[in-house]
Amino acid sequence: MGSGFKTGGGQGSIFNIQRFCVHDGPGIRTTVFMKGCPLRCQWCANPESQQPGPILITRDVKCVSCGKCVEVCPTGAISFDQNKRRIIDWELCNQCLKCAEVCLYGSLGGCGKTIGAEELVAELLKDEPFFKRSGGGVTISGGEPLVQPEFVLGLVEALRAKDIHVALDTSGYAPAEVFARLADNVDLVLFDIKHLNDQKHRQFTGVGNQKILANASYAAGHVRTWFRMPVIPGFNDSPEYVRQVAALCSDLKVEKISLLPYHEGGKTKFQQIGRTYLLPDVLPPADEHIQLLQNIFAEAGVQTSVQR
């Protein structure tokens, strides 16, 4: 088995299971979002996924100002202003989630939970009839699934033993042997190519891209691979840059690349977990621009899809 992998059971940390996903691989799929990510992408649409453990997430519109949270908060992080608006002092919050336990209205919630492999598999198999009809299956996403390699590998094996098509949606940021071990066992890898320039990559995601590009190359050579590219205006959307990506796709013979135009979905989420959004002034790219980028890929003979 090597690399210290222990599979078959154990506990994993996830933050969501979403059924009827149709953009995360072929057919109708159920996507499990693993918790924890070593990257800190500034545009991240799921910043609540980055920490490995459960964290507090707030939805102010659902607050009825009942004040139960104030009563249970051990650090005094929660208060209400004169307009009965809840204020959270995130510096004081110790992420104990006691407030989430008492909130009946879904205004304070815990994001993330640990789950046993068996229970998770049972949950992921619920839509099996849909997978069979549509050629779909399960996609393991995140967060970054490679952060929990043993659990994820066990999960993959359990699913494949039941003849379920498994896709791995990854940033590719992991040691080569960990990546290879997982990639070899899935039916499809959805691989994020955020930036080809190491410096830029480091600047906007907090990590360099060398391991990532090596793993991308491995994936493309060993398993069915689709690239995915978040299109972030001013970061990776210039035609000159995209030509390089197209050349890479073409060199590695990846089946296709999905363009994910930037959206502001992450903005609210950062607020909801008490963090500052670092890309405040970026607007979603225009449809025409996305079309232009698609044309670049087409010229290089690379198939594209756009996921909004």
Partner 1 sequence: MAFNPEEIKSKLVVKAVRNVRKGMAKDDASRGMYRPEVKMDLSRSRLITESYKMTDGMPMVMRRAKAMDHILNNMPIYILDWERIVGNQAESPDALYFGIDMNWRSVKRVVSGEEGKTLLDDAGRQEMAQLIEYWKGKSMSDRQQSAFTGDVLKYWHYDGTMLWSHWSEQGVPDYEKILQGGLRGIIKEAEEKLDELDRTVPLGYIDKKEFLQSVIIVMNAALNFARRYAALAREMAQQTPDEDRKKRLLEIAETCEWVPENPARTLVEAIQSFYFIYLIRYLEYSTLGIGIRFDKVFGPYYEADLASGAITRKEALELLQLLWVKIHEIGLIYSPTLSGIYGGVASLQAITIGGVDEQGRDVTNEMTYLVLETAETMRSLEPSIVLRYHDKTPDELLARSVDTLATGIGYPSIFNDKSLIPMLEKWGVSPDRARDYCVSGCVYIEVPGANVTRRAAGGLALAKCMWWALHRGVDPKTGEQRGARTTDPNTWTSEEDVLNAYFEQVRFFFDKFTKIENTCRELYRKYLPRPFYSGIMTEGIQKAQDCRKWTDPHRLESFVVIMGVTNAADSITAIKKLVFDDKTVSMAELLQALENNWEGYADLRQMAVNAPKFGNDDDYADDIAVKVHHGTSDVLAEFTDQWGFPWKGDGSGVSGTYGLAFDCGATPDGRVLGQPFADATLSPIQGGDSNGPTAVLKSASKISTSRTYNHLLNQKFLPQYVRGDMKPVFVDYLRTWGDLEISHIQFNIVDRQTLVKAQRNPEEYSDLIVRVAGYSAYFVDLSKGLQDSIIARTEQAF
Q: Which residues bind partner 1 (CB under 8 A)?
A: 18-22, 27-28, 64, 66, 104-105, 126-127, 129-130, 132-136, 305
244 versus 272: smaller Cβ distance to partner 1: 272
CB of 81 to partner 1, least distance (A): 21
23 versus 160: smaller Cβ distance to partner 1: 23
21 versus 245: smaller Cβ distance to partner 1: 21
128 versus 157: smaller Cβ distance to partner 1: 128
> How many beta carbons lie within 10 A of that of residue 230, not counting itself?
22
130 versus 241: smaller Cβ distance to partner 1: 130
Angle (nearest 5°) at CA 120 between 141 and 7: 80
CB of 129 to partner 1, least distance (A): 5
Residues in the chain: 308
Query: Over the Cα atoms of the chain, what is R_g?
Result: 20
CB of 67 to partner 1, least distance (A): 11
Residue type (1 letter), 31: T
CB of 258 to partner 1, least distance (A): 11
CB of 132 to partner 1, least distance (A): 8
Q: Which residue has the tokens 């608006």?
A: 85
CB of 104 to partner 1, least distance (A): 4
243 versus 256: smaller Cβ distance to partner 1: 256
CB 151 within 8 A of CB 117: yes
CB of 25 to partner 1, least distance (A): 12
Q: Pick the closest to residue 231 from 279, 272, 270, 269 (CA basis).
A: 279
28 versus 146: smaller Cβ distance to partner 1: 28
Residue 147: partners with Cβ closer than 8 Å, 6 or more residues away: 34, 36, 37, 38, 52, 174
